[in-house]
Amino acid sequence: MKKVDISIIVPIYKTEKYLRKCLDSLVNQTKEELEFILINDGSPDNSEKIIKEYKDNRIHYYKNKNQGIGKTRNYGIEKACGKYLLFVDSDDYLRLDTCQVLYDKAEEEDLDIIVFNMEKIYDNGTTEKDKIPSFETSSVKDNPSLLNMINLGPCNKLFKTSIIKENHIQFLEELKYEDVPFVIESLIKAKKIGQAEESLYYYVIHGKSETTIRDERCFDIIKVIDGVRKNIKEKELKEQMNHLTVRVLTNYTIQQRVQEKPEIGIQFIEEAFQYLEENIPDYQDNKYYKGRGFLRRTIEKNKKLTILYCKIYRQMRKKKR
């Protein structure tokens, strides 16, 4: 069996428009010691036909019934043979030297996780840098603030496989935002977290991207955050978890401006603020808000103003159409 340094796990569902660009960016990586674990999650489009066009023997193709991205990624982890894991969404793509850059850095510095920057690519052709704040190589134990400096998605991170498998870290399988506990637990278990300050991942944002859709599943984020909070035992992380909770829930209350059903958005805002009031009574004094502008933090701290903001935003959006 050939040496595998990095296993790249790609769940595939309804992304035929973007799939070739994704796969081209994988098979043409400058680093060769890779395996591509492509998992067709019961996609009803031409994804399978596209995948079979590629004859690279590093491709391991699996076809399952539709089970959701959490279960699909977990399946990929089970199949992975590489020393490191990299997660790529099938509508995104990599810079062609991504794997070489990450592998060299991980080996040279003996890192458990590398965090790197992304570039957002919008359907209208515009791009936007998505940068993680700079930090020194460390661990969450030595620098708890990393929990709030590093984003909670898995795709801009290289994980040492042993950290994931030995600690039985998995994606949630029944809820949306399945990646939040996975990333948080991985960060906490890692002994050395490093950073590559280059944009190595291209994150494609389109009308059907998860980041652009807000529906009834938004309530899952409250359950996910509550589950993470209950699993955090370390006292020194409690303050950081309060910060993270305020940051995440505030972000999602504001995002209800694009909720498909306005009444669902209002209900979510009500429940999110109730959760904050019950679990972090002094949430309005949380340091998360200190870095926000006056008007922004005034709206974000107040339930009625958040509801009003979302309503006005929707009305203005309708007028533009």
Which residues, at least 6 apart from 49, have a Cβ–Cβ distance to it below 8 Å? none
Looking at residues 208-230, what average pLDDT do you find? 81
On the question of pLDDT at 22 being above 90, the answer is: yes
One domain for residues 221 and 195: no
Judge whether 80 and 48 are in contact, CB under 8 Å.
no
Cα distances (angstroms) measured from residue 134 to each of 55, 72, 94, 149:
40, 32, 21, 9
On the question of pLDDT at 139 being above 90, the answer is: yes
- Reference 245, options 273, 268, 211; nearest CA is 273
Give how far the C-alpha of residue 282 lies from the chain's centroid of Cα atoms, to the nearest Å: 28
Please count the structural domains in the chain: 2
Coil/strand/helix, residue 282: coil
Q: What is the mean pLDDT of the chain?
A: 94
On the question of pLDDT at 49 being above 60, the answer is: yes
| Rounded Cα gap, residues 264 and 268, in angstroms | 6
Give the model's pLDDT for residue 216.
Answer: 85
One domain for residues 113 and 203: yes
| Rounded Cα gap, residues 29 and 162, in angstroms | 23
Looking at residues 231-237, what average pLDDT do you find? 86
One domain for residues 196 and 225: no
The pair of structure tokens assigned to 198 is 């280059």
Confidence of residue 233 (pLDDT cuts 50, 70, 90): confident
One domain for residues 141 and 228: no
Share of the chain above pLDDT 90, in %: 88
On the question of pLDDT at 1 being above 70, the answer is: no
**Inside any domain, residue 302:** yes
Looking at residues 70-85, what average pLDDT do you find? 98
Looking at residues 226-251, what average pLDDT do you find? 93
The pair of structure tokens assigned to 62 is 């699996």
Confidence of residue 318 (pLDDT cuts 50, 70, 90): confident
One domain for residues 121 and 227: no
Confidence of residue 320 (pLDDT cuts 50, 70, 90): confident
pTM score: 0.93
Give the model's pLDDT for residue 278.
Answer: 97
Q: What is the domain extent for residue 316? A: 214-320
One domain for residues 300 and 161: no
Give the model's pLDDT for residue 289.
Answer: 94
**Inside any domain, residue 197:** yes
Which residues, at least 6 apart from 178, have a Cβ–Cβ distance to it below 8 Å? 68, 69, 70, 73, 171, 172, 224
**Inside any domain, residue 1:** no
One domain for residues 292 and 231: yes
Give the model's pLDDT for residue 106.
Answer: 98
Cα distances (angstroms) measured from residue 276 to each of 273, 284, 307:
5, 9, 16
pLDDT by residue (tens digit) across 122-138? 988 899 999 999 999 99
Give the model's pLDDT for residue 123.
Answer: 84
Give the model's pLDDT for residue 211.
Answer: 52
Reported as type and span, the H/E element at residue 46 is none
| Rounded Cα gap, residues 162 and 112, in angstroms | 9
On the question of pLDDT at 213 being above 70, the answer is: no
Judge whether 11 and 76 are in contact, CB under 8 Å.
yes
Reported as type and span, the H/E element at residue 108 is helix 98-109
